[in-house]
């Protein structure tokens, strides 16, 4: 019988949960409402929680409180997609519920789950029942009603309640019932709880790194094109400060070191401060940091040496580079002067990235559907701009929440324009007014998002019926406004059918971005058909290079 959880056991529970979630991420991904190849809930939750598990794996904390706090902060920074953000909020609440506790009991864990549920609900502007929110709320209710002291029996009870609630999500949301699936986020949460329960036997748990990662990365100039002498500040310096006084501000540290380097990022998270700076005097930076608190996880890399090795080494050796070395090398860039405003956009495909860059976007984060960047990826891109005000274009409804989390982790002013599609993001950029203030620009760009109709064409990954439409695996699907509006066996015919539902006599411009699996000749055939069908509209064709979607189409 297990009645108490100490820091060591809690660490095992976190590692076990990460393993369980990543082992089953494909099954969670498959719980997609639409039969399209973009299910990514399991991947997002798995990568989000893996960030927390790595934090736990690399450190030994003295209390459950400290462990939970570190895990909560790591999930926040690593949050990907709506499901990852909500999971991070659940653990943010759990951390609050466990604050100050060295060990925890059933009663403590029950209170923490309630706090996790409440925090997740408060983080979502319009909570929807039949989702992960419902599952965590019912789990918290069952936890509070449990009367025993044995943690094994406790987890059996809450998991049983969670699974029962999960099964009911199919009837709670029409789209789930129609697709015949349970809520994917709720299923991911159940794997986390099962992982917790599996670790209660006290056996050591080894973290299993996922076989592959879709971690989004910024599209930058290839490192080989840079010269080592272009690196003005040689030492990439990173560390975490455990504050002597939790109420102390990191402002004095920021003022002391900001003139000593570039690419500075200081994240003040209550009891801890995360510091990153490129400098030629890491000793001075550390001297200033120790005035604020005790330093841990200190990492200082000589980027000039790394860059020389990267450029001069053979590709076979480069392939052996560790993950940490790769991330450090990716940060190498000439100094960027501080500026007032910059725009960061998320896009997948070289053509789409080039389009945004040509329109004045400073940083492109490679990502989109099936490849959602994390909050930390977005934060890093904003930091690279070295702008005081940064406008973020998520260009995907599943990235908006992650982008919004970045607002709380930096001293830069972040504005998140709620662009849900690539065309909406392009429309937003085209509304740019160099004479407008950042606040005015945010308003203008947000309004521009609503001026364009967006559609896309992909394919079905399973047989199903949606809104009365019989869909066979392999059919082409046209999507617009969050719905499947056309189904067919011919790609051009499906695309034309999609546009018929979007265009009318007032349409002036039809833009077609063709993907990686479409040839230029095929795109020209579609464009010719659209020009003939809509003689009063300008039909513009671009190579987007995007994965998953054959065409992304906008109508204005």
Mean pLDDT (whole number) for 46-55: 90
Confidence of residue 524 (pLDDT cuts 50, 70, 90): very high
Confidence of residue 161 (pLDDT cuts 50, 70, 90): very high
Most confident of 106-110, 303-307, 316-320, 546-550: 106-110
Mean pLDDT (whole number) for 505-527: 93
pLDDT value for 269 = 63
**CA 53 centroid distance within chain:** 16
Token pair listed for 32: 């997609």
Pairing of strands 509-514, 483-488: unpaired
Who wins on pLDDT, 278 or 104?
104
Share of the chain above pLDDT 70, in %: 87
88 Cβ partners below 8 Å, 6+ apart? 48, 72, 75, 76, 78, 79, 375, 405
Mean pLDDT (whole number) for 444-461: 92
Confidence of residue 468 (pLDDT cuts 50, 70, 90): confident
Place of tokens 């080494």: 313
Q: Give CA separation, 325 vs 212, 386, 520, in Å.
A: 17, 23, 38
The CB-side HSE value for 525 (13 A sphere, CA atoms) comes to 10
Mean pLDDT (whole number) for 440-460: 93
Mean pLDDT (whole number) for 164-172: 94
The CB-side HSE value for 342 (13 A sphere, CA atoms) comes to 20
- In this structure, of 120-129, 265-274, 546-555, the range with the lowest mean pLDDT score is 265-274
Give the containing element (helix H, strand E) for 446.
Answer: helix 438-449
Three-class DSSP category at 556: coil
Average pLDDT score over the chain = 85
The CB-side HSE value for 271 (13 A sphere, CA atoms) comes to 13
pLDDT value for 211 = 63
Q: How would DSSP label each residue in 167-229?
A: HHHHHHSHHHHHHT---HHHHHHHHHHHHHHHGGG---------S------B----GGGS-GG
Indicate if the pLDDT at residue 23 is higher than 60.
yes
Indicate if the pLDDT at residue 263 is higher than 50.
yes
Confidence of residue 225 (pLDDT cuts 50, 70, 90): very low
Indicate if the pLDDT at residue 326 is higher than 80.
no
- In this structure, of 60-74, 136-150, 271-285, 369-383, the range with the lowest mean pLDDT score is 271-285
pLDDT value for 491 = 95
Mean pLDDT (whole number) for 116-134: 88
Instruction: Report DSSP state, residue 373.
Output: P
Taking Cα atoms as reference points, which of 446, 539, 533, 528 lies closest to residue 497?
Answer: 533
Taking Cα atoms as reference points, which of 474, 428, 432 lies closest to residue 454?
Answer: 428
The structure's pTM equals 0.67
Dihedral pair phi/psi, residue 306, rounded to 5°: -60, -40
Question: Contact 275/284 with Cβ under 8 angstroms?
Answer: no
Indicate if the pLDDT at residue 227 is higher than 80.
no
Who wins on pLDDT, 93 or 260?
93
**3-state helix/strand/coil string of 18-43:** HHHHHHCHHHHHCCCCCCCCCCCHHH
Question: Contact 140/167 with Cβ under 8 angstroms?
Answer: no
Q: How many CB atoms lie within 10 A of CB 472?
A: 12
Confidence of residue 486 (pLDDT cuts 50, 70, 90): very high
**CA 523 centroid distance within chain:** 31
Instruction: Report DSSP state, residue 551.
Output: E
* Per-residue model confidence as pLDDT tens digits over 351-367: 999 999 999 999 999 88
């Amino acid at each position: 019988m297990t009645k108490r959880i100490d820091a060591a056991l809690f660490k095992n529970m976190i590692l076990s949960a990460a393993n369980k979630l990543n082992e089953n991420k494909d099954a969670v991904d498959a719980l997609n409402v639409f039969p399209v190849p973009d299910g990514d809930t399991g991947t997002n939750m798995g990568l989000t929680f893996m960030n927390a598990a790595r934090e736990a794996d690399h450190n030994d904390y003295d209390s459950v409180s400290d462990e939970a706090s570190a895990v909560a902060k790591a999930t926040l920074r690593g949050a990907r997609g709506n499901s990852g953000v909500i999971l991070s909020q659940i653990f943010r609440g759990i951390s609050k519920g466990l604050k100050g506790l060295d060990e925890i009991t059933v009663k403590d864990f029950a209170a923490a789950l309630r706090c996790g549920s409440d925090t997740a609900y408060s983080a979502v502007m319009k909570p929807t029942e039949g989702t992960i929110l419902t599952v965590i709320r019912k789990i918290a209710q069952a936890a509070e009603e449990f009367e025993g002291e044995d943690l094994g029996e406790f987890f059996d009870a809450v998991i049983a309640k969670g699974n029962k609630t999960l099964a009911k999500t199919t009837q709670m949301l029409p789209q789930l019932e129609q697709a015949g699936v349970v809520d994917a986020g709720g299923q991911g949460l159940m794997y986390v709880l099962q992982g917790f329960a599996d670790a209660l036997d006290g056996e050591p748990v080894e973290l299993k790194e996922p076989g592959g990662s879709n971690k989004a990365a910024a599209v930058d100039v290839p490192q080989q094109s840079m010269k080592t002498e272009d690196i003005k500040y040689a030492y990439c310096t990173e560390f975490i400060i455990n504050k002597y006084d939790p109420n102390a501000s990191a402002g004095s540290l920021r003022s002391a070191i900001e003139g000593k380097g570039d690419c500075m990022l200081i994240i003040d998270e209550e009891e801890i401060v995360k510091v990153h700076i490129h400098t030629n005097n890491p000793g001075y930076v550390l001297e200033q940091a120790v005035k604020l608190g005790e330093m841990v996880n200190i990492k200082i890399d000589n980027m000039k040496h790394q860059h020389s090795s990267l450029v001069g080494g053979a590709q076979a050796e480069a392939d052996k580079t560790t993950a940490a070395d790769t991330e450090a090398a990716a940060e190498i860039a000439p100094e960027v002067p501080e500026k007032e405003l910059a725009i960061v956009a998320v896009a997948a495909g070289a053509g789409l990235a080039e389009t945004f860059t040509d329109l004045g976007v400073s940083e492109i984060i490679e990502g989109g559907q099936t490849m959602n960047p994390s909050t930390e990826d977005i934060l890093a891109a904003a930091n690279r701009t070295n702008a005081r005000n940064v406008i973020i274009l998520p260009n995907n409804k599943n990235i908006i929440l992650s982008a919004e989390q970045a607002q709380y982790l930096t001293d830069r002013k972040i504005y998140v324009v709620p662009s849900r599609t690539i065309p909406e993001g392009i429309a937003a950029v085209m509304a740019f007014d160099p004479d407008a203030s950042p606040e005015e620009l945010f308003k203008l760009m947000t309004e521009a998002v609503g001026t364009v109709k967006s559609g896309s064409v992909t394919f079905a990954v399973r047989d199903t019926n949606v809104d009365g439409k019989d869909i066979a695996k392999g059919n082409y699907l046209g999507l617009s406004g969050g719905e499947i509006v056309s189904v067919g066996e011919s790609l051009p015919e499906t695309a034309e059918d999609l546009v018929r539902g979007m265009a009318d006599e007032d349409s002036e411009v039809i833009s077609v971005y063709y993907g990686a699996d479409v040839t230029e000749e095929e795109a020209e055939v579609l464009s010719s058909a659209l020009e003939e069908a809509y003689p009063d509209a300008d039909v513009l064709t671009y190579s987007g290079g995007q994965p998953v979607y054959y065409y992304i189409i906008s109508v204005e």
